[in-house]
Amino acid sequence: MDSYLKLSSSCAGRDKIFRFVERLASHEALSHVFSIALSRLLQYSSKFLGAALNNGRWSNEKAVNQIKLLESAMSLLRKGLRLGKSLDVLQGAVGTMRLRDPAVRTTTTVSRIQQALYLLADNVLWANRVGLVRLSNESKASWLDRCNRLWLCFLLANLARDLYEVKSIVRGRCELLDKAEPGLRVALCAPPTSLALVRHLVWNHGDVAVDLAKNLCDILIPLDALGYVRLPPGLVGICGAVSSALGLLAIVDPVYKLNPA
């Protein structure tokens, strides 16, 4: 811990952290998207670690401050890496408008539009943090609130898509009733909350399971920021870290990526 404090307490130490992440980003095996997800994982892991140290019996104010510094640095880096992504997302929305399934077409298109608007608002906040624009405290709070609301709408659209996919899976299982033995009907048509369906999703529809779990973890963050729920900082950090890890899994192994996303 002392070595870490000495490293991160100086400007040179912080530069080393940035260069380390930049090297990861430039590695041919790591995509730009992977770099963003990795920065997010480090950000929320730092948030959880900082909260744990702050509330633990071995609380160390200096260590907590340095971890908060790392969290802030990763947040700033991640937001910087996402500059211009809103245009790519809007272009993707044009493609999703051609999908045949009306439910998937609607949810994915709405999701992409909300994501693009959210990223634009987030870019404004990033520009304010690095000094490119000057926002008053009132204006900054307004943009932050707008950003969280757009993020929430984006995640709600994602969850609507996930629930539609789960419903389609359940319906597909039930269509096998005519071919199944009577004793299998309960298992095939299990209610959505049953353990049997959870196992079926994990083993046979990993993309849906990962996307659903990721969005459920993510949605708690804007809900907390907007005051709809009250969560301790440590839990927010866990939710962000878990969703980031699931996002990395979907990047590393496309089997777990829900398409079209």
153 found inside a domain: no
Tell me how far apart the alpha carbons of residues 194 and 166 are, in angstroms, rounded to a whole number: 12
pLDDT of residue 8: 45
Tell me how far apart the alpha carbons of residues 8 and 5 are, in angstroms, rounded to a whole number: 5
24 found inside a domain: yes
C-alpha angle 5/9/10, rounded to 5°? 135
55 found inside a domain: yes
Tell me how far apart the alpha carbons of residues 128 and 23 are, in angstroms, rounded to a whole number: 26
Q: What are phi and psi of 101, to 5 degrees?
A: -65, 120
196 found inside a domain: no
pLDDT of residue 210: 94
DSSP strands (E only) in 49-190: none
198 found inside a domain: no
Q: What is the pLDDT of residues 61-120, one digit of tens each?
A: 788 888 889 999 999 999 998 988 999 999 999 999 999 999 999 999 999 999 999 999
pLDDT of residue 34: 82
Tell me how far apart the alpha carbons of residues 169 and 154 are, in angstroms, rounded to a whole number: 23
pLDDT of residue 52: 86
43: closest CA among 261, 247, 251, 230? 247
End-to-end CA distance of the chain: 41
What does the block give as tokens for 206? 């990993």
Task: Identify whether the C-beta of residue 74 lies closer than 8 Å to the C-beta of residue 46.
Answer: yes
Tell me how far apart the alpha carbons of residues 200 and 190 are, in angstroms, rounded to a whole number: 10
Largest CA-CA distance found in the chain, in angstroms, rounded: 69
pLDDT of residue 12: 54
* pTM attached to this predicted model: 0.81
In terms of pLDDT, which residue wins out, 206 or 217?
A: 217
pLDDT band at 159 (very low <50, low <70, confident <90, very high): very high
217 found inside a domain: no
Number of domains forming the structure of the chain:
1
pLDDT of residue 35: 84
Mean pLDDT of the chain: 83
Residue 253: pLDDT above 50? yes
Q: What is the DSSP letter of 171?
A: H
144 found inside a domain: no
How many CB atoms within 10 Å of residue 15?
Answer: 10
Residue range(s) defining the domain that contains residue 38: 1-81
32 found inside a domain: yes
Q: What is the pLDDT of residues 136-155, one digit of tens each?
A: 999 999 999 999 999 999 99
Q: Please tell me the least confidently modeled range out of 42-56, 74-88, 182-196, 231-245.
A: 182-196
